[in-house]
Amino acid sequence: MPPRRIELLRIGANDYIVKPLIKQELSARLSNLITTKQLFDQVKIQQE
């Protein structure tokens, strides 16, 4: 993994996309991020 990616992960990034872009990979990553956000929102609501 190139040093720039490592640095970005260390300062808070939790994912990255490499080129050339694979549409199926992008779709899967976006789907996972949306699911994670929805679950996070549900937990936040339950805590309130």
pLDDT at position 40 is 97
Residue 14: per-residue pLDDT: 84
Confidence label for 15 from pLDDT (cuts 50, 70 and 90): confident
DSSP the chain: --HHHHHHHHTT------SSP-HHHHHHHHHHHHHHHHHHHHHHHHH-
Query: What per-residue confidence (pLDDT) applies to 34?
Result: 96
Q: Which two tokens stand for residue 30?
A: 């976006």
pLDDT, residue 1, reads 67
pLDDT of residue 2: 81
- Look up the pTM and report it: 0.67
